[in-house]
Amino acid sequence: MPSGTVTDEFVHVAKGLGPNGRIAVVRFDRGIKANPLSTDAMRQLRRATESFEDDLDTSVVILTGNGTAFSAGADLKDTRPATSSIAERIHRQRNGPKMCRAWEQMEQVTIAAIEGFAIGGGAALAVSLDFRFCGRSAHFRIPEVELGMNMSWGSIPRMVALMGPARTKQAVILTSDRIDAHEAYDWGLVEKVVDDGQVLDAAMAFAARIAEQPPLPVRMSKTTINRVAFAWAEGVSHMDPDQNVLTALTEDFAEGTAAFRERRKPKFRGR
C-alpha cells in the first residue's frame, strides 16, 4: 500500500507514488455516475489539500474523478432551505470558491485527469489546477448562464488566463455548447488529449517527469508563475458569491432551473 493513504467518504488520497514517492493521487468519487459536488464533497476536497500543507515529500498531486465523470458540478439536489437568510446563502455559496482557491494555492504542482465530463463547478475545479489532461470523448460545459446564474467560484479569471477573453465569453455565454476534447485543446483549456481510459496513466507519466526535478525550485517556480497569472483574480471575483445569490432571486433563475428540470428551452425576460 502506498505510504500516506488517507480516505474520506468521497475523497481518497494516496501518497508515496512514482519516482522517489513524490506523486500523490486524489480520487473524488461520490458513488454517483455524475459525480456532483455537494457541500460535503466540496469540504472534503478542500480538506484533501490540507493534507499536503506540511508535506515536503510530495511534488505533484493528480486529481481525478470516478472514471465516468470528473464532475457534473454543483449538486442541484443539495438545496438550501427556502427560509435561508441572504447572509446564510452567501456563506453557503462560498464553499465552491474556497475549494477552488485551496487547490489553486497548493504548493505542489497539480494535474486534473479528466475522463467523461467536467460541467459547471466541475470545470471550475479543473481550471483551478495547473494542468488538465482528458480523454478523447471528454467534454466541458458551463451551463450557469442558461440557468439564470453567473459563472462563479473565481473561475472566470482562470479561464481568461488559459483561453483568452473571447473564448471565455464563448464558453460562458453560449452555455448549451459542449466543448469537446479537441476544441478544449485548441482553445488552451487542456494541455493533453489521450485515448479514453488512459488519462490517469498519461498524467502519472507527466507527473513523473516533474517529480524527478528538484522539489524546492519547482515549488518556487509554480508560486511565482501563479502570482503573475492571477495577480488581479481576487479583485475581480470577490463578488462572485454575492452575484450568485442575487441572480438566484430573479425570475430568470426560476425559469432557467425549471426549464432544466423539465428539459425544455427557457424563456428569459430579463427580470
The residues pairing with 109 across neighbouring beta strands, listed in sequence order, are 60
CA quadruple 161, 25, 208, 190: dihedral positive or negative?
Answer: negative
Burial class (CB in 10 A: 0-12, 13-18, 19+), 33: exposed
In a domain, residue 28? The reply is yes
Segments in the chain forming alpha helices (H): 39-50, 86-93, 95-104, 121-126, 155-163, 165-173, 181-187, 199-211, 215-229, 233-237, 240-247, 251-262
The alpha carbons of the chain give a radius of gyration, in whole angstroms, of 18
* Domain assignment of residue 217, yes or no: no
In a domain, 165, yes or no: yes
- 54 or 255, higher pLDDT: 54
Question: Phi and psi dihedrals of 264, rounded to 5?
Answer: -135, 170
Higher pLDDT, 242 or 19: 19
- Using pLDDT thresholds of 50, 70 and 90, give the confidence band for residue 79: low
Per-residue model confidence (pLDDT) at position 224: 93
Q: What is the pLDDT of residue 81?
A: 58
Q: Give the span between the Cα atoms of 60 and 46, in whole angstroms.
A: 17
In this predicted structure, the answer to whether residue 23 has a pLDDT above a threshold of 90 is: yes
* Overall domain count for the chain: 1
Asked if residue 218 belongs to a domain, the reply is: no
Judge whether 191 and 5 are in contact, CB under 8 Å: no
| More confident: 92 or 204 | 204
Contact (CB, 8 A) for 120 and 142: yes
In a domain, 188, yes or no: yes
pLDDT digits (tens, 9 = 90+) for 156-214: 889 999 999 999 999 998 877 899 999 999 999 999 999 999 999 999 999 999 999 99
Q: What is the pLDDT of residues 94-134, one digit of tens each?
A: 788 899 999 999 999 999 999 999 999 999 999 999 999 99
Q: Judge whether residue 217 has pLDDT over 80.
A: yes
- Per-residue pLDDT at 1: 40
What does the block give as the cell for 223?
A: 508560486
Q: Are 189 and 141 in contact (CB under 8 A)?
A: no
For residues 197 and 76, which has the higher predicted lDDT (pLDDT)?
197
CATH code for position 28: 3.90.226.10
Domain assignment present for 207: no
The whole-model pTM stands at 0.87
Q: What is the pLDDT of residue 82?
A: 57
Domain that holds residue 175: 6-197+233-262
With respect to residue 206, please indicate whether it lies within any of the assigned structural domains: no
Residue 267 lies in a domain: no
pLDDT of residue 249: 79
Residue whose entry in the numeric block shows the C-alpha cell 494535474 = 111
What pLDDT score was predicted for residue 228?
A: 87
